[in-house]
Structure 1
Amino acid sequence: MTQSLIDAIADQERRLVLDRFDEDTAFALGCALRDRAKAIAAPVSIEIRSAARRYFFATLPGATPENEDWGRRKINTTLRTFKSSMRAGLEYGLKGRAQWPDVGLRYEDFVLHGGGFPVSVKGVGVIAAIGVSGLPSRDDHELSTATLAAHLGLYDIALPAHL
């Protein structure tokens, strides 16, 4: 089952690719993420960031500074591995590898839980990441992917419930 979930997440990553990305795109995605989270009263921190700069940041009622830090660490994992933080964690776990010291991802700066998702551009690759934190791991992941999918006009992107 773990490998099937990894494959499903990898498929999301392959499909959720933008034609372009700039400040306006980041703002639109960030606002859509915030609206989606607010509609379900999700106590989350939301960030969109590249290795060099922050494009969007928001917190919703109930989010804590810990959520903001977890979001930062999820983004760091995504920018280091070029894959979602959830997939990275599942893959390392399947191989029996620990985040530290095996993989070299220090706990202070990285985390292997859902909510970090790559922002990829066609013909370029991963250029930024979304970080959502405050819900259970899978729900943080699904909030990011559902918002990217809606932005792209894709509506069959959710992870299968049985995985």
Structure 2
Amino acid sequence: MSPTPSRQELPSAAELEAEAADLVLPRFGHDEAWRLGSLLVELARARRAPVAIDIHQGAQQLFHCALPGSSADNDGWIERKRRVVERYGAASLLVGARFRAKGQTFEESSRLDPARYAAHGGCVPLVVGNAGMVGTVTVSGLPQAEDHALVVEALRTLRDAL
């Protein structure tokens, strides 16, 4: 899978499952949230990406940044994507891919309010070793595959540095 798929390409559920297994962190806390958020800001600025970035550990927001070109709509998308990850325990893009693999749409088949839940790429669970999911990291502002790829790139960089 390329680091930034085109607008048309969406990875399969199998590809996203394999990717998720590779994104386990040895630890995650306030310092790692700052490092991850700062890395996402750096990557987004280098690409002139008009994104909003959000990192939560449980119910606590540890990092938020809205870069030029983003809007309050991006914050709404962040909340909707985050709710999907919190409910399903998997990346928002993966949840959507699982529905598509069954020939269904998330919006019609999940029975969840689409004003509150969005299975679009950009939110990834923060998983720590045997502790499991401890939070979420979300990007909104690009096409969904690019939002997802940006988060994955930053998570791999952080993981390799820890």
TM bin (shorter chain)? 0.7 to 0.9
Higher relative contact order (CA 8 A, sep 6+): 2
* 1:41 corresponds to: 48
What is the DSSP-based 3-state SS (H/G/I as helix, E as strand, rest coil) of the residue aligned with 2:156?
A: helix
* 9, 14, 20: which one aligns with 1:7: 14
Whether 2:112 is the aligned partner of 1:105: answer yes
Q: For residues 80 and 18 of structure 1, what CA distance do their matches in structure 2 show? A: 21
Q: Which region of structure 1 is more displaced relative to structure 2, 4-13 or 36-45?
A: 4-13
Please say if residues 51 and 79 of structure 1, whose CA atoms lie closer than 8 Å, have aligned partners that are also in contact: no
Letter in 2 for 1:140: D
* 65, 74, 77: which one aligns with 2:72: 65
* 2:133 corresponds to: 126
The CA RMSD over aligned residues, in Å, is 1.9
TM-score normalised by the chain length of structure 1: 0.87
Q: For residues 58 and 69 of structure 1, what CA distance do their matches in structure 2 show? A: 14
TM-superposition CA deviations, 1:111-161 (whole Å, max 9, x none):
01110111000001111111100001100000000001111229xxxxxxx
Q: Which runs of 5+ in 2 are unaligned?
A: 1-8
Q: Which runs of 5+ in 1 are unaligned?
A: 155-163
Equivalences for residues 19-34 of structure 1 within 5 A: 19-34=26-41
Q: For residues 54 and 124 of structure 2, what CA distance do their matches in structure 1 show? A: 11
* 2:85 corresponds to: 78
Letter in 2 for 1:134: G
